[in-house]
Amino acid sequence: MFSVPSPGDPESTSELLRRLEDVLDHVDRVYLGLPQGGTGRATVRAVDEADVAEVAEVCDSHGVDVEVVINPLCTVHITCDKSAFRAFEATLGALDDAGVEHLVLSDPMTVETAAEMGFHVSVSCVAHVNEPGKAERFAELGASEVTVDTAVNRRLDVVSEIADVIDVRVIVNEGCLRYCPYRLFHLCEFSHASRGDVTVEDDPYFVRCISERLDDPAEIVRSPFVRPEDLDEYEGIGVSAFKIAGRANSVAWIERAVRAYIEGGYEGNLLDVLDCPTVLRHLVYLDNSALDGALREGWSSCRGDCERCGFCSELARRAVRFLGGLKDAVGSGETGGVEA
């Protein structure tokens, strides 16, 4: 089953579910960020508890559950102050009153409290659960499910071991850099920016994110996204919950991504359905068909020794093409450098 992102407001959610009506039997949850607690992503709408109640009603009318995401990396404003934690508990109470049963939380203290209140808690990928032992700790705190660290998405052996401990959900279309040194700090930036407690004038991590991929297109292939065609590999190891990333995008974008994964295939530029960063699709074409077999042939046995391995570099030469002025500069349209 699929978890589908909502931009957060009732109108967009209603529009999205109306568009997806014919495939909703594959969707069990629609999630949205509640920025007042801070979230791990940019939020496009200032959603409050009243909005959540309306979204819950919209979801209920379409037969799907709503899932509220409170997953900041920095939680000092929630867990390190008694009155702040009381406010958090009051928020959970309000969500309960609104009919919300599913939460995505990052901080273990919040997981424990929400689980005790009876919520179904999925541990956020922001908690970076990437081994069975860590999953076990969250299970002991009352978590019902773990959304695994996307860095281990393609390590089928690791995902399988975690799935032996607790229900696992995999974020399929996050296109972040593999081994990204900026990830934690970017998530921390979002924690504060989404709450509005700091003014963020620049997003230097986002600048690097695009720049490093243009500099080495193999980074686009190394990114731990899961292709729509590969979902059956995960079902084979006991994973049946898949999360579509992209709550900061338009309804049309979300619909395209959701359909690709529900249909189990996408013809064309795979970057069209990958989140983070979506703008890359206008600069680069990632030929999805050229990635056939890559999960089994290379990615699932990846140990991160890119220098010696060369699998993704070779794959990128076949699968990645520059567009626009980059294509003009390279000449042939293939990647691999620009002549001086």
Q: Applying CB under 8 A, does 74 fall inside the site for another protein?
A: no
The token duo for 237 is 């190891």
**Is 159:136 a contact under the CB 8 Å cutoff?**
no
Q: Applying CB under 8 A, does 50 fall inside the site for another protein?
A: no
Binding mask 321-340 for another protein (x = CB under 8 A): -x-xxx-xxx----x-xxxx
Which lies closer to another protein via its Cβ, residue 73 or residue 284?
284
From the CB of 280, what's the least distance to another protein, in Å? 8
- Dmax (CA) of the chain: 63
Q: Applying CB under 8 A, does 208 fall inside the site for another protein?
A: yes
Q: Applying CB under 8 A, does 42 fall inside the site for another protein?
A: no
Q: Applying CB under 8 A, does 204 fall inside the site for another protein?
A: yes
Burial of 235 (0-12, 13-18, 19+ CB in 10 A): exposed
User: How many residues of this chain interact with another protein, rule: CB under 8 A?
Assistant: 25
Q: What's the chain's length in residues?
A: 340
- The partner residues of 334 in beta bridges, in order of sequence, read 321
Which lies closer to another protein via its Cβ, residue 177 or residue 241?
177
Interface segment toward another protein; rule CB under 8 A; list 49-57, 150-158, 175-183, 213-221: 213-221
Q: Which has the closest alpha carbon to 35: 93, 98, 77?
A: 77
* Burial letters 24-44, b for 16+ CB under 10 A, else e: beebbbbbbbbbbbbbbbbbb
Which lies closer to another protein via its Cβ, residue 211 or residue 289?
211
Is cis: bond before 277, omega within 30 of 0? yes
Options 283, 302, 306, 309; binder of another protein; rule CB under 8 A: 283
Options 210, 237, 302, 309; binder of another protein; rule CB under 8 A: 210
> H or E stretch including 190?
helix 183-195
From the CB of 291, what's the least distance to another protein, in Å? 21
> H or E stretch including 170?
strand 167-171
Options 1, 50, 184, 279; binder of another protein; rule CB under 8 A: 279
Residue ranges binding another protein (CB under 8 A): 202, 204, 207-208, 210-212, 214-215, 217, 279, 282-283, 322, 324-326, 328-330, 335, 337-340
